[in-house]
A and B are shown apart, each in its own frame.
Chain A
Amino acid sequence: MASFTVGIVVFPGSNCDRDVSWALEGCLDIKTKFLWHESSDLKDVDSIVLPGGFSYGDYLRCGAIARFSPLINSLHDFVKSGRRVLGICNGFQILTESGFLPGALVANKNLNFICDDVDLNVITSKGGWFQKLDKKQYIKLPIAHGEGRYHCDQDTLKRLIDNDLIALKYKNNPNGSTSDIAGITNEKGNVLGLMPHPERACDESIGGIDGLYTLKSLLT
């Protein structure tokens, strides 16, 4: 049997694809495979990461053009099958633009590109993307974005709360996100989108290991 393989999607303008591969292969010994966005063949991969970056130069809106790639088109069946998809930063933006997750990501309230480590509250255990050690859990992950302000209407927010779909909240909201939201999951829990970068927190030598659990959970 072939070993578990995580597909990492590469769009023109992706720039965290290699970081994700380094974190998975180097820190967790998980096999990865780069998937060019024009390919629609997902049969060799068991879960998928949409990495950060600036797909298609963020033209029009972040993630707006990437959603029309053949790979994103075939992602619908992949998600339906229950396999896991993790969208990080630009990957989260692509997941909202494509309708896999509700809401949208817009320009930070203070208009700055924010590059910082942030404290996050883990809210849901849905999908098992985060380790729940006790009732309340805090993790620290890096963020690096100019358009990371999560926006949704009141009905959507109610649905997120009622169905326990809010994955992460900022302790000190850096970008003006609705209800401090930093990451959400779909109803099934097999799709997670988040603005923070777990792949940049996978080794003590680069400042922390709070991202390891989320990447490791791609295996489940």
Chain B
Amino acid sequence: MDKFEVKVFIRLRPSVLDPAGEAIKSASSKIGVEGIKSLRIGKMIEVKIEGNKEDEIKEKIDLLCDRLFANTVIEDYEYSINKL
């Protein structure tokens, strides 16, 4: 059985206002960093998982993302899988 590391990125959908992102954007300008056009906060989840094939891992991660990691009413997700 192989070991895989999965990194899942969860982002608020573009149509959902991100007030925390706006607050950080405003703080960024206070330390003199200019030019930021957009700043949005997401989540990253790291999963280490065992399995035989990458397809099998993908199936499990899709299930986790759709049912638990993300609320697809307000969030989008993407992930990368690396064989360890």
Chains A and B form a bound pair: yes
Q: Is B15 an interface residue (CB 8 A)?
A: yes
- Quick check: is B17 within 8 A (CB to CB) of the other chain? yes
DSSP majority for the A interface? loop
Name the B residues within 8 Å of A102 (CB-CB): 73
CB-contacts of B35-84 with A (<8 A): 68-69, 71, 73-74
**A97 vs B71: C-alpha distance when bound (angstroms):** 7
Total interface residues on A, using CB and 8 Å?
21
Contact of B15 among A60, A61, A153, A176 (CB under 8 A): A153
Tell me the minimal C-beta distance from A52 to chain B in angstroms. 19
Of the candidates B16, B17, B20, B69, the one whose C-beta lies within 8 Å of that of A60 is B69
Q: Beyond A60-B68, A64-B68, A111-B23, is A103–B17 a contact (Cβ under 8 Å)?
A: no
If A64-B68, A153-B15 touch, does A107 touch B20 (CB 8 Å cutoff)? yes
CB pairs A–B below 8 angstroms (11 shown): A60-B69, A61-B71, A64-B68, A106-B12, A107-B19, A108-B19, A109-B19, A110-B19, A151-B16, A153-B73, A176-B17
- Interface positions of B (Cβ within 8 A of A): 12, 15-17, 19-20, 23, 68-69, 71, 73-74
> Which residues in A have some Cβ–Cβ distance to B below 8 Å?
60-61, 64-65, 68, 96-97, 102-104, 106-111, 149, 151-153, 176
